Amino acid sequence: MVFNSIEFAIFLPVVVLLFYLLPQRARWFMLLTASCVFYMWFVPKYILILLVTIVIDYLAGILMERNSERPKRKKTFMIISIVSTLTVLFVFKYLGFVTENLTRLCALFGVETDLAVNIILPIGLSFHTFQSMSYVIEVYRGNQKAEHHFGYYSLYVMFFPQLVTGPIERPGNLLRQLHEEKHFDYDNISKGMRLILFGLFIKMVVADNLGLTVERIYDEPSTYNSWSVMLGAVFYSFQIYCDFFGYSTIALGSAKLMGYDISDNFRSPYLSRSIAEFWHRWHISLSTWFRDYVYIPLGGSRVKFSRWAFNILVVFVLSGIWHGAAWTFLFWGFAHGLLHIVEKVLKKNAKTLEPQTKVGRWSIDLLNVAKTFILVTLFWVMFRSSDFAQMKEMFVAMFSNFDVERQVVVDWQNFLYLGLFILSDIVLRNTRFDRWCDGKPLVLRWLIYAMLVFMIVVCSRVENVPFIYFQF
């Protein structure tokens, strides 16, 4: 079931209504059942994979707590849990990639064999794998008590608003809230509906329409002139942002309807002045996950520069691999890590003085924002390309096909949609749509709501376009 579907438009109100009608003691069961239905709407049998990881991590948490005075045994249970969970992730997400490359390697040495394995990736596997691992690690560290109620732990992993595309929640936030009794609050309903409406707009109107142009250009980049290919790259930057941001915003709103606060995953990342700031504003739940469970344990920044650079590259390469089993994703992650290191070196060795006037500082900030956006957009070409051949074709077409006789893409309506979104992103840089609406005049709020509904109905595509991050 996807958020931008008729099924979800029926499913969500029913769940929210049942939530408030049922007593607290029965809500966990209803939400868990609803989450199972939500997940099984895609491929029912894959819920068994999710159940296996849930059972393993649930038992590991209890066994670690029981052996809190036996550090070695406690650590053993943590390792068993993490290895088991990562093994499931490896088999379904990376085994095909590894066997395919082993087959190619054997061919280089004249050995003809076919080791390739093709397994369908369960939706959201990377997300709920990392969410389960955060629980196990926090219990091991003593920051989280083990959850002894199997139903509540299962609901923590399977909570439907953020089950398949995040944000990746920590037990200290979501698991705690699931135990709290929630009461009907009109403010929660109002804010939840605002977020869902805004999320549907940026997904169905902005992202999906930009995707039509992006798909045409990536399919045959050599047939378009360079300006059109550059435009396609820019459109993809905003397509993937609006697609993922739209999902996260609908997830926030869906949870808010029932009084649950889940984590913000984006804070206007394209207004960042550096790659480091970009990753503090983009997919925040994943960035902080790698920070807390990989970067800091490796030594973080409290080490010599060469070790710090190594830590950064490890984190970004792992982040690239997390997104997908392909060399392009690994290369994309490595490029971001390398640029992060280069930026730090340049900043450390910069000899220029900071401008003393506001105009001077704003000008520098604007240049840095433009620089960061251009670099991120170029890196998205690696991310979007199916292989290195397509990536090469895109870059060649982007910088060598200035022939005016080649095809030109002019989708004027997309500039309108994109302009409205960019304006909203600037306005909401330090806030969120539901909070921004608070205190605004009633007439203004309802004019905005009416405009969003009108554009969703009139300007969105006919078919339901899947969310991009479903594949991860």
pLDDT in tens, 291-343: 999 999 999 888 999 999 999 999 999 999 999 889 999 999 999 999 999 99
Which residues fall within 8 angstroms of residue 249, CB to CB, at 6 or more apart?
195, 196, 198, 199, 202, 433
pLDDT at 42 over 90: no
Residue 354: which pLDDT band, with cuts at 50, 70 and 90? Answer: low
Contact (CB, 8 A) for 146 and 65 = yes
Tokens of 324: 């997908």
pLDDT at 184 over 70: yes
Q: Model confidence over 126-146: pLDDT tens digits? A: 898 999 999 999 999 999 999
What is the pTM for the complete model shown? 0.92
pLDDT at 248 over 80: yes
Percentage above 90 pLDDT, the chain: 70
pLDDT at 466 over 90: no
Residue 165: which pLDDT band, with cuts at 50, 70 and 90? Answer: confident
- Residue-level pLDDT at 384: 93
Q: How far is CA 413 from the centre of its chain?
A: 27
Residue 364: which pLDDT band, with cuts at 50, 70 and 90? Answer: confident
pLDDT at 261 over 90: yes
Contact (CB, 8 A) for 295 and 315 = yes
Give 53: exposed, middle or buried? Use CB within 10 Å, 0-12, 13-18, 19+: buried
Residue 282 DSSP symbol? S
Q: Which of 12, 142, 134, 157 is nearest to 65 (CA)?
A: 142
Long-range contacts of 120-124 (CB under 8 A, 24+ apart): 120/43, 120/92, 121/92, 121/93, 121/471, 122/43, 122/46, 122/49, 122/50, 122/92, 123/39, 123/42, 123/43, 123/46, 123/164, 123/470, 124/39, 124/163, 124/164, 124/165, 124/470
- Residue-level pLDDT at 352: 57
For this structure, is 149 an active site residue? Answer: no
Rg (C-alpha) for the chain, rounded Å, is 23
Which one of 128, 283, 323, 340 is the catalytic residue? 323
Tokens of 144: 């989280």
Distance CA 339, CA 241 (A): 20
Comparing 87-101, 111-125, 456-470, the range with the smallest average pLDDT is 111-125
Q: Which of 234, 240, 219, 216 is nearest to 409 (CA)?
A: 216
Q: Which of 415, 389, 412 is nearest to 222 (CA)?
A: 389
Angle subtended by helix axes 327-348 and 388-400, to nearest 10: 50
Distance CA 32, CA 178 (A): 11
Distance CA 14, CA 154 (A): 21
Which residues fall within 8 angstroms of residue 390, CB to CB, at 6 or more apart?
218
Residue 425: which pLDDT band, with cuts at 50, 70 and 90? Answer: very high
Residue 437: CB atoms within 10 Å: 18
Q: What Å distances lie between residue 313 and 318, 330, 334, 349, 459, CA to CA?
A: 8, 11, 6, 21, 42
Tokens of 228: 């059109």
Residue 361: which pLDDT band, with cuts at 50, 70 and 90? Answer: confident
pLDDT at 96 over 90: no
Place of tokens 């705690």: 176
pLDDT at 351 over 60: no
Provide the mean pLDDT of the chain.
90
Distance CA 189, CA 354 (A): 46
- Residue-level pLDDT at 124: 83
Contact (CB, 8 A) for 102 and 143 = no
Q: Residue range 180-207: average pLDDT?
A: 95
Buried b (16+ CB within 10 A) or exposed e, 102-141: ebeeeeeeeeeeeeeeeeebbbbbbbbbbbbbbbbbbbbe
Q: Residue range 158-185: average pLDDT?
A: 92
Contact (CB, 8 A) for 461 and 209 = yes
Q: Which of 292, 286, 291 is nearest to 137 (CA)?
A: 292
- Residue-level pLDDT at 23: 94
Place of tokens 């609406």: 437
pLDDT at 114 over 80: no
Q: What Å distances lie between residue 191 and 18, 68, 125, 195, CA to CA?
A: 19, 42, 29, 6
